[in-house]
Chains A and B, each alone.
Chain A
């Protein structure tokens, strides 16, 4: 059993607080992504879990046993480093074999495991080469193969596919997901590529400024972001935030009325761009379109709603001219309401 409990982990570098109390529970065999912008503390958290960095306070349990103070090798995990850390003085074969050699595996098993991992990552052709003759993407795959070869109970991956071209990345993503699922590997996957996180993960933890803002399935995180940050970070185009006046617990959008979790004042509507439908103006929200971009699969509109910047998506079959005002009908089930002060969303109406 390799479930992981991260319990209120804090980490300071001098006066700078990189992690401000992170808690996260990961079930055995689960695939969890840490998604967040550059510098938010993803690598730091991963290094603390691995035992390469000590936390300032808090507890880490792997398989229900606290691993604080245990050296990395006694934690039963493998890791893919953000900058690969592929050994330059060993062939690709010996790199992939390294973990098994340290476990004193016999040659037959080493060979079998190396070939399996190399095949999975399409690096069989380079097994006899030295890493400094390989491209960044190839080295990155060597690093992933090295981690997979030991068949770890827990696998930590720090942006392992960041250097691959789009096509190869898509392919590797699917294959990784399949092998890890088959092996039942508990995986923590760091990325700032949201499509990667959405596609791969059982759950996503969105990290921002040393804190976890939200943990949930990709659909939950996408449809009901817990905070303004999450809504703005996930989704392309990002969620629109439109501040609207509230009267008697209701918000009016043209002739549409929505009950909201506030009585008066203002509330922020979190609106996913693709949840609107074209309607006659005045029926829902009207949008002044500055630029209409036909993307092939859909039509992307950039402009403003109630004087606030917005981006929405209409079906590719619609035609909109630059400068036109279009009416947009809202789907009451797919709206998120947020507090204008705290930026935290109200729980989704049942």
Chain B
């Protein structure tokens, strides 16, 4: 039946292709054009403006530092959490449910949650003051305390974004039949060896997806940073936002957008290469 009408699958996916084409490809091309043109003629003026801006270097540095700090911690935490629930018999679903609560909160709201903890009159200061560790309200989120600010933002990001990594990793762990670990155990592998020699290689596809997704999202970090640090902690998307809204300069905003896309693509390619998934070596 299907063989006699080979066009059916194509017809079925056509709407999604059209949809994506209209809502993704067209704006993408427009954005790229906006970035590399000036009044309708090709020009690098927007790029030059972007690069020579005072905040450009800092926003690149901040975004990379944040990604480098947050992503590895999230992967390690997700692996630990996933391995822990895998060993549980009862209450597994409840724990997973609680752990994924941050997923249901928008990133701006997540930023507000952490602002209420870290701001001058926040819970952290109250607790520290109550324990007698500080004598007066301390500011953590200012230009003068870059390390505390960075740590605060990183913690908020970790809190907000680990759940999605964990979900992907738990799904990956669930796919590994327990017999593989048992066989390794019989033949004398320690728990750590089982994890590194059996579990990790077998969840490579999940690990790869989690790394790509999480890294791309990390390069797009904005709302949490905006809520906690405002302009004290410039990041790439924040700069794009400022150029778009404050400065009304769409060209430079587009240049930032293109830069973020290029960085994300590069990171994805690196992961595809480094965390290679060889279908031959999968169950």
Give B187's nearest chain A residue, CB to CB: A99
Given contacts A83-B179, A85-B180, contact A72 B282 (CB under 8 A): no
| Chain A residues near B179 (CB-CB < 8 A) | 81, 83, 85
Chain A, 66-117, CB within 8 A of any chain B CB: 71-73, 77-79, 81, 83, 85, 87-90, 98-99, 102-103
Given contacts A85-B179, A85-B180, A89-B202, contact A50 B186 (CB under 8 A): yes
| Chain A residues near B184 (CB-CB < 8 A) | 87, 98, 102
Does B108 touch A at the CB level, under 8 Å? no
Contact A73 B187 (CB under 8 A): yes
Contact B182 A102 (CB under 8 A): no
Does B93 touch A at the CB level, under 8 Å? no
Given contacts A85-B177, A85-B179, A87-B198, contact A98 B187 (CB under 8 A): yes
Contact B182 A85 (CB under 8 A): yes
Contact B185 A88 (CB under 8 A): no
- Bound Cα distance from A132 to B279, whole angstroms: 9
Number of interface residues of A (CB under 8 A): 24
Q: Name the distance in Å between A105's Cβ and chain B's nearest Cβ.
A: 11
| Chain B residues near A333 (CB-CB < 8 A) | none
- Bound Cα distance from A152 to B58, whole angstroms: 62
Q: Name the distance in Å between B87's Cβ and chain A's nearest Cβ.
A: 14
Contact B185 A71 (CB under 8 A): yes
| Chain B residues near A98 (CB-CB < 8 A) | 184, 187
Could you list which residues of chain A lie within 8 angstroms of chain B, going by C-beta atoms? Answer: 50, 52, 71-73, 77-79, 81, 83, 85, 87-90, 98-99, 102-103, 130, 132-133, 146, 150
Chain B, 148-175, CB within 8 A of any chain A CB: none
- Bound Cα distance from A98 to B180, whole angstroms: 12
Which of the residues A71, A77, A85, A132 comes within 8 Å of B282, measured between beta carbons? Answer: A132
**Residue from B183, B185, B186, B202 having most chain A Cβ neighbours under 10 A:** B186
- Bound Cα distance from A321 to B19, whole angstroms: 77
Which of the residues B177, B189, B204, B282 comes within 8 Å of A102, measured between beta carbons? Answer: B189
Contact A102 B193 (CB under 8 A): yes
Does B135 touch A at the CB level, under 8 Å? no
Does B188 touch A at the CB level, under 8 Å? yes
- Bound Cα distance from A201 to B236, whole angstroms: 72
Given contacts A130-B281, A133-B280, contact A87 B183 (CB under 8 A): yes
